[in-house]
Structure 1
Amino acid sequence: MKKLFAVVLPLALGSCSMMMLPGSPYTLSKQPAAGSLNPSGTVTASVSNNMVTTEAKVMGLQANQYYVAHYHNQGTPGTDPCSSNGAPIMSSKIVGQTDASGMLTLKGSVARADVMNATYFNIHTASDAQGTPADAGVACTAVRMQ
């Protein structure tokens, strides 16, 4: 019995552990809609209990402004993901507001199955606190889910 317990316990504990997605942390790149802003930062994604938890930290944005982020599926095949104009995965939506220095921290979770086909994570300026996108995106990164 002791031998069986020694084999089963690590397997059970391993199923609850957090796994980082390939390529995480991802580096955000400036998008054309950023205009004169110079956003930069990272997106970290991890999987635990069939949920993907995403945290984005971005600087160089407009102060005291709402932003919305979400994963997207690939749009035009063969195109850079961030330029492919893919459909947003709305269940992955995260809304936040920058501080007075233009720093934004976003954190949210979504079912892993919802974002398994995502190819990029995009941050848009929001026109309101509900996260209605006001542009095509100010910062983006390609992602690879597993």
Structure 2
Amino acid sequence: MKILLLPALSLALGSCAMMYAPMTYTLAKQPAGGALNSSGTVTVKRDGMTVMTSAMVSGLAPNTYYVGHYHMQGTPNTDPCSSGGAPIMSSKVVGMTDAMGMLSMSGSASASDVMNATYFNIHTASDAAGTPADAGVTCTSVKM
């Protein structure tokens, strides 16, 4: 009897962690004067508690630190990437481009922290800690 109850309990608890289909967004030039020749994607994978974010971008400055994070909507009824919304610093990911200007970075954040995010942007960073050095070089709107 106990053997039958344990698998059923495991199945019931496992179904509580709802999985969502991964979403891939195309990065575009940041309206505030971003990188001219960059292109890339941001992939968002979400379960009930965590959001995993991966970004791949080419055409950036070589051997340079970059920081990406989600933002809240700023000015209402404005394109999210132009809205000037507040950053969600708990979603910060930092990476360094290779000698060819290719950036690959990933990280995770609590789903509750980024639930209302409307865009993800990447800034040039002034240091390895990911201190933003500009208004952003590339951006994409997101829907959580």
Check whether TM > 0.5. Answer: yes
Q: Is the 8 A contact 2:46 2:111 kept in 1?
A: yes
Question: What is the one-letter code of the residue matched to 1:66?
Answer: Y
Q: Is the 8 A contact 2:72 2:86 kept in 1?
A: yes
Give the C-alpha shift of residue 107 in structure 1.
0.5
Give the distance between the partners of 2:18 and 2:105, measured in 1 at CA.
22
Give the distance between the partners of 2:47 and 2:123, measured in 1 at CA.
26
TM-score, normalised relative to structure 1:
0.86
- Who is 2:90 aligned against? 91
TM-score, normalised relative to structure 2:
0.87
Aligned length: 142
- Who is 1:47 aligned against? 46
Question: What is the one-letter code of the residue matched to 2:74?
Answer: G
- Who is 1:28 aligned against? 27
- Structure 1 runs of 4+ with >4 Å offset: 3-11
Question: What is the one-letter code of the residue matched to 1:53?
Answer: M
Question: What is the one-letter code of the residue matched to 1:58?
Answer: V
Sequence identity percentage: 60
- Who is 1:19 aligned against? 20
- Who is 2:124 aligned against? 125
Give the C-alpha shift of residue 9 in structure 1.
5.9
- Who is 2:113 aligned against? 114
Give the gaps of 5 or more residues in structure 1.
none
Give the distance between the partners of 2:66 and 2:112, measured in 1 at CA.
25
The CA deviation string for residues 75-124 of structure 1, in whole angstroms up to 9 with x for no partner, is 00000000000000010010100011111111000011101110000000
